[in-house]
Amino acid sequence: MNDTLELQNLHYHYGSVHALKGVSIEVKSGEIVALLGSNGAGKTTTLWCISGLLGKLTKGKITFLNEDISSKRPEKISAGGICHVLEGRHVFPKLSVKENLLMGFFGKGQQQYNERLNYVYGLFPRLKERAAQEGGTLSGGEQQMLVVGRALMSEPKVLLMDEPSLGLAPLIVKEIFSIIKKINEDGTTILLVEQNSKAALQVAHRGYVMVNGEITLSGTAAHLLSDENVRKSYLGEE
């Protein structure tokens, strides 16, 4: 079965604003693919289109598991194996850490639930330590771990991650990227939107650069890391 995620000539409008202008991206099974670009480039819109949160596309096609998912509802897309970790750490503040994780479980039976819970606790020992604590009382870094862990409870085939390091301290950022790499090594494909372009490319296999709703550059992560224009525009180097 071909479990590549493919976006073909995506166009999307917010009213009269043409936000995506022919975006084509391929994310192959087992990859980490980074989507880079400045604020307002269309990166988050791209993820929202994939997960069905924006409704009907203006034009284009999204395929996954050899199936056109362009017009599927978000819950069907999620149940089909694509899970979206939104920007901004959306925890259920009054639910405990363990209850937050349960909200992400779509499987069947206690044994499968225990297996997924143990997997998440293995990745994030701090979540296990704080299992009974309300989600809203966690630190920013712990809340980010919680939303990633909640997404992993459904055992997704593809994880869409939007700015997972945003607003976190450097040590926590390093830990988050280490965990992203581990999740991928365990078999989850990842499409990563990230403001920290250098860190993203250091864990990614390939990357795309987006400018004003269009893909302007693509290549291996190593190639993009060495590209002078990318270094100046997105990696903060002169």
- C-alpha of 162 from chain center: 5
Distance CA 39, CA 25 (A): 19
Are 47 and 78 contacting, i.e. CB atoms less than 8 angstroms apart? no
pLDDT (0 to 100) of residue 202: 95
CA 128 vs. chain centroid, Å, equals 23
What are the φ and ψ backbone dihedral angles of 135, each rounded to 5 degrees?
-60, -35
For residue 2, the model assigns a pLDDT of 65
Per-residue pLDDT 10s for the chain (238 aa) are: 567 899 999 999 999 999 999 999 999 999 999 999 988 899 999 999 999 999 899 999 999 998 999 999 999 999 999 999 998 888 999 999 999 999 999 877 899 999 999 999 999 999 999 999 999 999 999 999 999 999 999 999 999 999 999 889 999 999 999 999 999 999 999 999 998 889 999 999 999 999 999 999 999 999 999 988 787 777 665 4
Residue 88: the pLDDT is 82
Task: Go through the domains of the chain in sequence order and give each one's CATH number.
Answer: 5-234 (3.40.50.300)
